[in-house]
Structure 1
Amino acid sequence: MKKVTKWACMAAVVSMAASACTAPVPKAVAAAPDSIKTAPLPPVTPPLNWTYQEEVDQMTDGKKYFAYCESPTSLDFKFPYDGGSTATLILRHIDDQSDVLLTVSKGQFVGSVLADRTVKLKFDNDAPVEIPYVSPSDGSANAIFLDFKSPLVERLKKAEQLKIEAEFFNEGLVIMDFKTTGLTWER
């Protein structure tokens, strides 16, 4: 008897669910009233490709300004730098001097003490250009200073994309991509 009651209840539930699914939609629900308005979607803002930072020098009380653009693609180096490395393009302005740096989170650029080495830069679809670079004075191998005398910052302001080809220790030439749209830099 319990089995029959259990199955009868289940059949009744399934029957009610099926009839609810096939029931006609009332006209008042089917047609939305004119008084219901949908809010306009907010404008789509482009992604922020640059991060800005301002610091105060603790010795001189002067201001230091930085702009960072991180490559969206990971660099894959061999051991001991395997596991993915991130390239970052940095603009900095300290004591009325501006610099453009290229850094990697892991890896070593081939050193250049006297600006005797170059990197290739390709802005959007323009022809690549070579500019010299120097290694940091502290001997760090994961950063290089790009020649600021070139109109690099002005080109960055106008470009949507930048490709940089640089030589790395035990890796050869590697290309790094940057989305550079939206740079505001008045230094």
Structure 2
Amino acid sequence: MKKLLVGLCLFPSIAFSTETGESCAKIEDSAKRLECYDSVFLKSPSQSEKELQQKLDDELAKLKAELASWRYRESKDEMRNKTSYFASKASDNTIELSFPYQGGSSITLVLRKHSEYGNDVMFNLSKGQFSCRIDGCNISVKFDDENIEKYAVSESESGSNDVLFLSGKKSMKKFVDKLKSAKKMVIEFPIYDYGRAQFTFTTQGLEWKHF
């Protein structure tokens, strides 16, 4: 045993670099056994491993930022020399619908200043149907910790039942003004064959000066 301990003392880097947890358990000297375990289980990551982990962390942070941010786009009418502006934000959560709409369904909030049709606040359901009527229904909205408010909405005149439009210019202005200052918004929609469903939006950071 003394010869074994001498060997370990003379060649610690070789011995510990090839040790496993099982072989560490065979070392009688407590201090060296602990050092062996540390070399096996508390190995510091290499520089390449650190760089890879940092790259993964950066990509994840970038993806989270993209998902949490507002998206903006413009559409130019070349013939009339007019531009339409859009800002959109997807809901943070989804709901699970039954057949034939299996899978998560989300809401996309869209602000639109159309060059021909004017201003709109729209809600687009990715799967399923809103349980509303073309002549209108109500949704419940809560900004941050404020009181719940009711807003009138209506379906598209084209008959599409996966899109709702906020009704009334005053209501639209009130909604967008609160949207600009809020950090969070929860909206409750009537969904066909599901009932009332709540969708949460992270709303901070909106830059919208078009209406």
- Shorter-chain TM band: 0.7 to 0.9
Residue 105 (structure 1) aligned to one of 126, 129, 150: 126
Residue 207 (structure 2) aligned to one of 141, 162, 184: 184
For 1:17, give the aligned amino acid: I
Counterpart-to-counterpart distance in 2, 1:70 and 1:16: 55
Cα pair distance change 1:142/1:58, threshold 3 Å: farther
Cα pair distance change 1:57/1:75, threshold 3 Å: farther
- Indicate the residue corresponding to 1:3 in structure 2: none
Higher relative contact order (CA 8 A, sep 6+): 1
Cα pair distance change 1:18/1:59, threshold 3 Å: same
- Alignment map for 1:80-119 (pairs within 5 Å): 80-95=100-115, 97-115=118-136, 117-119=137-139
Counterpart-to-counterpart distance in 2, 1:178 and 1:60: 35
1 or 2, which has the higher helix percentage? 2
> TM-score, normalised on structure 1?
0.74
Residue 68 (structure 1) aligned to one of 88, 92, 116: 88
- Contact 2:134–2:159 (8 Å) recurs in 1: no
Counterpart-to-counterpart distance in 2, 1:77 and 1:109: 12
- Residue 197 of structure 2 aligns to a residue whose secondary structure is strand
Deviations 1:146-169 (A, max 9, x none): 124211110000000110001011
How far apart are 1:171 and its partner, in Å? 0.7
Counterpart-to-counterpart distance in 2, 1:160 and 1:95: 29
For 2:190, give the aligned amino acid: E
Aligned-residue CA RMSD (Å) = 2.9
For 1:134, give the aligned amino acid: S
- Contact 1:49–1:70 (8 Å) recurs in 2: no
- Contact 1:112–1:133 (8 Å) recurs in 2: no
> TM-score, normalised on structure 2?
0.66
Q: How many residues get paired?
A: 156
Gaps in structure 1 of 5+ consecutive residues: 1-10, 23-43
- Contact 2:92–2:199 (8 Å) recurs in 1: no
For 1:157, give the aligned amino acid: K
Task: Please identify, of 173-182 and 55-64, the stretch whose mean Cα deviation from structure 2 is larger.
Answer: 55-64
Deviations 1:16-58 (A, max 9, x none): 42489x8xxxxxxxxxxxxxxxxxxxxx999352100011125
Percent of aligned pairs with the same amino acid:
32
